Amino acid sequence: EDKVVQSPLSLVVHEGDTVTLNCSYEVTNFRSLLWYKQEKKAPTFLFMLTSSGIEKKSGRLSSILDKKELSSILNITATQTGDSAIYLCAVVRDDKIIFGKGTRLHILP
């Protein structure tokens, strides 16, 4: 059975801290891995990872895929209160896209 597991499920840190969110997967016919940020409504796209070991970066956020370990991490440096959100990881296998349960991140001012 296909599985996407995110950890931790929730995290509370202080502004300025660095956080690392984890996503591991067990799927057949893996195509790519997606990261999303969700605040009040629909998730917004952050990164798409297809190749192992190549870091994707956008401002204070970065992500990398490890196909050997079947996992990915999302790093956020110098966190701000606006980073408070649910972070979702999803794995694309053929035409099916499976999400993990998400990590709820709360940044304290």
Partner 1 sequence: SQTIHQWPATLVQPVGSPLSLECTVEGTSNPNLYWYRQAAGRGLQLLFYSVGIGQISSEVPQNLSASRPQDRQFILSSKKLLLSDSGFYLCAYSQGYNSPLHFGNGTRLTVT
Among 31, 57, 60, 106, binds partner 1 (CB under 8 A): 31
Q: Is 95 helix (H, G, I), strand (E, B) or coil?
A: coil
Buried/exposed code over 74-108 (b: 16+ C-beta within 10 A; e: otherwise): bebeebeeebbbbbbbbbbeeeeeeebebbebebe
Residue 17 CB, nearest approach to partner 1 (Å) = 22
- Rule CB under 8 A: say whether 101 interacts with partner 1: yes
Among 14, 28, 41, 82, binds partner 1 (CB under 8 A): 41
Secondary structure letter of residue 52 according to DSSP: T
Site residues, partner 1 (CB under 8 A): 6, 31-32, 34, 41-43, 45, 48, 50, 86, 88, 90, 92-102, 104
